[in-house]
Structure 1
């Protein structure tokens, strides 16, 4: 990116912290960066992985209508790593850093969009720190992780394999899925992320000329998914989500193999004030596959919930 860099190391200073470009500050010795693009109501976007670099989530179609604040999650850059790296990156810790960032932006309330693992973080933040949120977009998320989630993903990958049986690229995709459990380095993380990516689109091989550069640009850092004491950050939000008061938009691609329609329907049923968008021609990357439909739905949700929060304003 060639955007200007704004160093905001002092206290929050209102609109300065929403000026276009890259911003950075320190919290407890950890550098937090975020990147501002676009104009309009503020929407903070938290990318997935964990450990995938933020820029795959750039959404130019949304930037035409919203001020997009793309979080660079801690751990993805060397100077943003915890002393316990690659461990300790729990939802609670991501949420605490999100709270600091949102408070610095100098607006009464923001919308929070989380993609993939970022959707798990966004749900947690909306459940535990909702005060500054006007709405939350859970984009390719789920209410649980663990064996049940893994079994559903396995079923979806099997369906993908059956659909593409005989394609010369399929063995490499399946090998990358098989290598997931053995990841222990940045290089392996990048290799697996690129390896599985064709299954993350509704029709990667049918549009490979356009999508291959996106795949080639993926960068990632290895993050273990374990807390500092090496315990897993296990997720089951089902009971808590029934009490979520923040307005929610749930977005899913019909062909997503990782956090597919089953989980989006469940999220929508659990959350009292939610709306569901199923992108019929997308996998896990609807902002790339159906950008206008995706952006229109998020924009309308943000504008609608901003109006309801602002009242006569």
Structure 2
């Protein structure tokens, strides 16, 4: 299904062409394009396994068919929203890029609204992106709420427009410290609803472990999208390779690729179809517009292989299960895609099992980047969560939810 513009907007931010057929190619054909293509494929697949990248990092782009390249080039590019925000400088000197969308004076007249009138102390939405992406992955959710509620977005360290981090701090516990600092400096003591995708959701989980006192008094609601709380080392996105083997092979291969930066750089600059095809097949579970794949590839292409390697070990170390007892104090939502090959649906099911009171969705025809693939479903979940937080007032007991398989061809939600 082609991604649709969010509801409630006065004007479309995205123009799309008709649906394209999803290209197919075997692993053997992808690796047969020379040394550069082989290096790119290994880098992309290894990065995928780490829990949030959709391949395309060091891949030559568009090697499979020039026809795809011409079709995509003819489509309009997605227009990304932008706003200013304060730079947050961490204790180790990394500048974190933030953007703040303030609430409009009259959001109903400008954007349309489905939310009740908001109190002066209505929570700020804080959106936390995943591995090898940037805050731009939230374009649909951001547009859905823009002007209606206050939104804070930021690029994780070493991602997007934020500064580069030393490898020792490229770990989920440090990302939780960064989030805590963003809250302190950008939202102050005001109430917030936290929404995280993949590694961003892991960041929120660890925030709950490190700062449980925030959940209830300040953090009023949590949404976890396409993520895992642990046991990532036991999973492999390549069916022929067991997870335990894959997790051992990945680090040395990434280290080896880091020793040939010139070759990797040439692969990035070649501009072939390979990255496009692998991104589409691995990031999405349904047919999406080519320009959406291009946007994903651009985000990934801005993440260096060094950063991919720096963060890789944190996923095998992940163990956030004790965080759910803390997060269960507030309304929560959990969403996973049935076709997610990065954080498979079984990981979502485990979270649902540990937070049975959470509103939960298991979305059909949905890959790892469901927030971009089926924006109405994911934006609707956030809207329902936000409305529940408003109804609960000071953030009372989390309301009961229910798990369901949802066909993302419609905007159904629990």
Aligned partner (choices 125, 133, 138) of residue 52 of structure 1: 133
8 A Cα contact 2:226 2:336, kept in partner:
yes
Secondary structure of 1:21's aligned partner: coil
The two structures have a TM-score, normalised by structure 1, of 0.72
From the superposition, tell whether residues 23 and 311 of structure 1 become closer, same or farther in structure 2 (CA, over 3 Å). closer
Q: Find the counterpart in structure 1 of residue 196 from structure 2.
A: 114
Q: Secondary structure at the match of 1:276?
A: strand
* Shift in CA distance, 61/86, structure 1 to aligned 2, threshold 3 Å: same
Does residue 197 of the first structure (1) align with residue 279 of the second (2)?
Answer: yes
Aligned with residue 307 of structure 2, among 210, 223, 229: 223
Structure 1 residue 257: Cα displacement: 0.8
Aligned partner of 2:96 in structure 1 is: 32
Q: What's the CA shift string for 1:273-299, capped at 9, x where partnerless? A: 422122223211222221112111111
> For residues 61 and 157 of structure 1, what CA distance do their matches in structure 2 show?
40
1:38 CA displacement: 5.8
Q: Are 2:381 and 1:297 equivalent residues in the alignment?
A: yes
* Alignment equivalent of 2:344, drawn from 260, 274, 279: 260
Measured after TM superposition, the shift of residue 73 of structure 1 is 0.9
Please, which of 203, 219, 227 is the counterpart of residue 133 of structure 1?
A: 219
In the superposition, relative to structure 1, how do residues 208 and 88 fare at CA in structure 2: closer, same or farther (>3 Å)?
A: same
The 5 Å alignment of 1:1-313 reads: 3=82, 20-28=83-91, 29-37=93-101, 39=103, 41-49=123-131, 51-59=132-140, 60-63=143-146, 65-76=148-159, 80-82=163-165, 85-104=166-185, 105-130=187-212, 131=214, 132-148=218-234, 150-151=235-236, 153-155=237-239, 181-182=253-254, 184=258, 196-198=278-280, 199-203=282-286, 206-218=287-299, 219-221=302-304, 222-223=306-307, 234-242=317-325, 244=327, 245-271=329-355, 273-310=357-394
Shift of the 188–22 alpha-carbon distance from structure 1 to 2, 3 Å rule, reads farther
Task: Select the structure with the greater relative contact order (CA < 8 A; seq sep ≥ 6).
Answer: 2
Alpha-carbon shift at residue 258 of structure 1 (Å):
0.9
Structure 1, unaligned runs of 5 or more? 4-19, 159-176
TM-score of the pair, normalised by structure 2: 0.56
Q: How much does 1:225 deviate? A: 6.2
Residue 136 and residue 2 in structure 1: after superposition, are their counterparts in 2 closer, same or farther (change >3 A)?
Answer: closer
- For 1:90 and 1:140, how far apart are their aligned partners in 2? 19
Shift, 1:69, TM fit: 1.2
> Secondary structure in 2 aligned to 1:137?
strand
Assess, with a 3 A threshold, how the Cα gap between structure 1 residues 133 and 79 changes in structure 2: closer, same or farther: closer
Give the alignment's Cα RMSD to 1 decimal: 3.7
- 2-structure distance, mates of 1:64, 1:284: 28
Alignment correspondent of 1:165: none
> Does the 8 Å CA contact 2:100/2:153 hold for their aligned counterparts?
yes
Structure ID, larger Rg: 2
Question: Partners in 2 of 1:37 and 1:250 — Cα distance?
Answer: 25
Q: Secondary structure at the match of 1:87?
A: helix
Q: Given the superposition, is the C-alpha separation of residues 67 and 196 from structure 1 closer, same or farther in structure 2, using an over 3 Å criterion?
A: farther
